[in-house]
Amino acid sequence: MVIARTIEGLQEAKQKFSGSIGFVPTMGALHQGHLSLIQHARRENEHLIVSIFVNPTQFLEGEDLDSYPRKDEADIKICELAKVDILFMPSIDAMYETDELRIGAPAIRGYVLEGEKRPGHFDGMLQVVMKLLNLSGADNAYFGKKDAQQLALITQMVKNYFMDVNIVPCEIVRDERGLALSSRNVYLEGDEKERALCLSASLKKATQMVLAKELDAETIKKAMLEVLKDADQVEYIAIVNREFKALKKVEIGNTIILVAAWVGKPRLIDNLWI
Ligand code: AMP
């Protein structure tokens, strides 16, 4: 595995490639969720690039940029074992100039839910993903459904800018008790680990209701809120279609139910695709 820390280093390492390129962008502190994307990409491509870059432009003032978990040594081992060809770990200076052209998230889809709670987050995310997709030259790029709105916006960016890359959505990986894996789960302390299970439990409740043919969005949200009482603060429960428009009734095959809540230090998100 080549570890490239500069743009030139990445380009030089890529010159040896002759076939399809799979790409998995991450912010590191890798867990099984990331690994599932990496393995998915490994199976489907001749060459595999993973990036680790904690992107400053997607963090808002007061968020955890400085304390975001960093585990470079362990991440390098994981990537080696997963047979990654190039691990791209650029510096901030390599990725950004001071006065940059900016990409903006779309006005509606980019500013509801996560975009409303974290204004500017998606602009920064799209900016770095555009750079990384261009640099990787990927044929296929892999993103988790865990970040459902992010996935939708990246898919839209690729379409709107006629980018020649296939975006591959990947299933959410959870621990044995249902908690969606996240690098930020390391912030959970004491009983917060237990209480954090209420996010996935609320989605399980929604599944049971839909299976019992209860499709009314308000009724489902009310029942979910009851399950979410173990969280310190619920930011939103949303039932939307694949375009992120609010639904009055669940449409089977076209619905995402999303939840965001604070449990102790971390703000956690989870969702369910129906
Ligand atoms: P991050 O390092 O948090 O920016 O995540 C990098 C990629 O891994 C994104 O496409 C995430 O959606 C994906 N990812 C993170 N956690 C999970 C998970 N539990 N299951 C599946 N994909 C995930």
Whether residues 40 and 165 share a domain: the answer is yes
The pLDDT, as a whole number, for residue 23 is 99
pTM reported for the whole predicted model: 0.97
Q: How many whole angstroms from 213 Cα to the centroid of ligand 1?
A: 31
pLDDT class of 3 with cuts at 50, 70, 90 = very high
Same domain, 249 and 191: yes
CB atoms within 10 A of CB 193: 15
* Mean predicted confidence (pLDDT) in 45-50: 98
Structural domain that includes position 126: 2-170
- pLDDT, tens digit, for every residue of 206-228? 999 999 999 999 999 999 999 99
Mean pLDDT of 41-47: 98
Count of other CB atoms within 10 angstroms of residue 156: 17
Structural domain count of the chain: 2
Ligand 1 atom closest to residue 173's alpha carbon, by position in its atom list: 20
Query: Which CATH number fits the domain that encloses residue 86?
Result: 3.40.50.620
Read off the amino acid at residue 131: K
192 & 110 share domain: no
In a domain, 177, yes or no: no
DSSP result, 57-86:
GGSPTTSSTTTS---HHHHHHHHHHTT-SE
Shared-domain flag, residues 26 and 162: yes
**172 CA from centroid of ligand 1 (Å):** 8
CB 124 less than 6 A from any atom of ligand 1: no
- Whether 90 is in the pocket of ligand 1, judged by its Cβ within 6 Å, is no
**SS3 call for 93:** helix
Q: Are residues 27 and 129 in the same domain?
A: yes
Domain boundary among 170, 193, 223: 170
Indicate if 161 and 208 belong to the same structural domain: no
pLDDT band at 193 (very low <50, low <70, confident <90, very high): very high
Residue ending a domain, choose from 138, 170, 202: 170
Direct distance between the N- and C-terminal alpha carbons of the chain, in angstroms, rounded to an integer: 39
- Distance from residue 238's CA to the centre of ligand 1 (Å): 20
Q: Average pLDDT for residues 155-165, to the nearest whole number?
A: 98
Closest C-alpha to 4, from 94, 137, 69, 74: 94
